[in-house]
Amino acid sequence: MPSILNPGIQKINLRNVIIVYHPSLKEAEQEGENISNYLVQHGINIVCKSFSDRELQPAINSLQPDLMIALGGDGTLLRVGRVCAPLNLPILGVNVGRMGFLFELHHNEWKDNLDALLSGNYRIEQRMMLDVELINMTQRRGSWTVLNDAFIGRGGVVRPIQITAQVDDYLLTSYMADGLIAATATGSTAYALAAGGPILPPDLRNILIIPVAPHLSIDRGIVLGEGVSVCISAISTHGAVLSLDGQPAVTLTEGDIVKVNASRHVLSLIRFEGPGYFYHILSKYMEYNPITGTHR
């Protein structure tokens, strides 16, 4: 039977659930145990682990979960999303971190919403991801799938670099800048927003190109269609790097090209509100100071 908020899509047959929490957040671990106990009482098989646990992937392979519940902040969801998307494993996120653009639920809201989940009253929101390849000549140095963004920029020396972007083998433009961000609509509220980029509704399937601190270069963001292929190269005598979803950077070498495409994988998120919830969260966080934890 289709769920009320998700017409036309069959609800998840919940039998096995894996709960993952941020290892540095004691509150996340405690809430994970509380949620685990609650679901066990409803006859659901549970595995509860830190995402730093080396047994996480084997646990997923063994349990064959129908759902992952992730407790932490946005970084937690970015991390587990890279694991879940290729498996088509939906995620229910519970925010116990400072920021929560990717979350609908906070740590004190899970009980009523788990009841809604068990009764099928939810929808599944799918987020586009990016496939990123690092290529030098004919050799592929690495490949990744990311939810937010890929950043190509200067290394440790505070000096701009020359960056060239091509779209489907046509020159888009060249920048003299600190860096260039290729982001999804989800990533439009992350680094791209801090760099002055536009905010895109999360269900859009676009690739957003945003320069960081451009000098005498085009300073406007460019929104591209999902079907394009973007190739980015950097020229620098003092080092350039590639960073993916804020993870430790990969040092670029001469001749490296970063290729960005819309991925065939999508991240599936469990939602209990209608699509308009995004604007509610947006307006709330636009008035929020993540350092002090207060609203303006």
Tell me the residue ranges of DSSP E strands in 147-200. Answer: 149-154, 161-167, 170-177, 179-183
Question: Which residue is associated with the tokens 């005598």?
Answer: 237
* Residue pair 197/149 in contact by the 8 Å Cβ criterion: no
SS3 state at 89: coil
* Residue pair 48/33 in contact by the 8 Å Cβ criterion: yes
Rg of the chain over Cα atoms, rounded to whole angstroms, equals: 20
* Calpha distance 221→209 (Å, rounded): 6
* Residue 74 a catalytic site member: yes
Ordered alpha helix ranges (H), the chain: 26-40, 56-63, 74-84, 110-118, 191-194, 277-286
DSSP state of 187: G
For CA atoms 103, 107, 108, 113, give the dihedral sign: positive
> Considering 74, 149, 245, 256, which one is annotated as catalytic?
74
- Active site members: 74
